[in-house]
Amino acid sequence: MVKLAFSVDNHFDVNHIDAQAAVVKIAGYLLANHYQVYVNAGDTFNDFTKTLWFYRALQQAVGSKVVVRYLAGNHDLVKNVSYQTAQSSVSPLYLHEKTLTLPGTNTVIIGNNGWYDYSLAPADLKATDADFAQWKRAYWIDSAIDQPVSDRERMARVLTTTKRDLLAAAGHRVIYVTHFVPTPLMMMPAPAHSRWEMAAGLMGSRRLGELLEQSRVTDVVFGHLHHRDQQVVVNHTTYHHRPMGYGLRRLNEWESHDWFTEWQTTLITLQA
């Protein structure tokens, strides 16, 4: 049996957490609790190079006892990374568009950063692609991300590479890990807030969830929405959404005053 840990939306820089101290504490916890795989689903730093450094340092700290992998969320992609690099195999630890096979089990982990195609926006919003693009440029952190393709084209690549990896994993139990939201089931409607209705379109894609459910993916781990949910089961697919989020004075999403407590309580544990 293999013990797996998943975390998302740690935002170490935004939360003013010492990165080296975080490496030491997370490594110690994973080793002490006999985890064999740790996957982070994105939004670690607002800088791709810092995120890469962090997981290299964490892998070195845990040695061969824990396999470390990570994805990039939108925050990781805002600085020091091109679109081409984000889509490349920049490191063996970078799980985007890759599959991790767990030896001695019938389980594989498929990783994909994900993206969005506006399909999670309210149906009655009646916003056009141009409306979403204009809103994104004006208000959203993603406007700083290098992107030579449209949002729909970027999401189409997510669907294409996901289909490829699901076909290659046929006959296996699949755990799919992504940053962006793959289902409307966790979306919180807020019709009185027009900005949230526009932001909802940039949260993810319902088409991804439909694909995962049709493919009978066993577990889906994701983040991006900074609220925590109980597991949601759709037929054979269980959705896990437990982001750590922000612990700031102006925006406090934590249930304690300690980041490590929040990291532990939001950690998702699965067995393979």
pLDDT digits (tens, 9 = 90+) for 67-111: 999 999 999 999 999 999 999 999 999 999 999 999 999 999 999
Tens of pLDDT, residues 152-204: 999 999 999 999 999 999 999 999 999 999 999 988 765 556 677 899 999 99
With H, G, I as helix, E, B as strand and everything else as coil, classify residue 205.
Answer: coil
Q: Could you give the percent of the chain with pLDDT greater than 90? A: 90
Pair 216, 172: CB distance under 8 Å: no
What is d(CA 41, CA 57) in angstroms, rounded to the nearest whole number? 17
Q: Is 107 helix (H, G, I), strand (E, B) or coil?
A: strand
Rounded to an integer, the average pLDDT of 18-41 is: 98
* Contact call for residues 71 and 41 (beta carbons, < 8 A): yes
Per the structure, the count of domains in the chain is: 1
- Model pLDDT, residue 241: 97
What CATH code is carried by the domain that includes residue 40?
A: 3.60.21.10
pLDDT (average), residues 239-265: 95
Domain extent, residue 174, equals: 3-271
Burial of residue 123, with CB atoms counted within 10 A of its CB: 0-12 exposed, 13-18 middle, 19 or more buried: exposed
Query: Tell me, what's the pLDDT at 193?
Result: 61
pLDDT band at 126 (very low <50, low <70, confident <90, very high): confident
Encode pLDDT of 48-77 as tens digits.
999 999 999 999 999 999 999 999 999 999
Task: Give the sheet arrangement for strand 232-234, strand by strand.
Answer: 98-101, 107-112, 173-178, 219-222, 237-241, 232-234
Residue range 143-147: mean pLDDT, rounded: 96
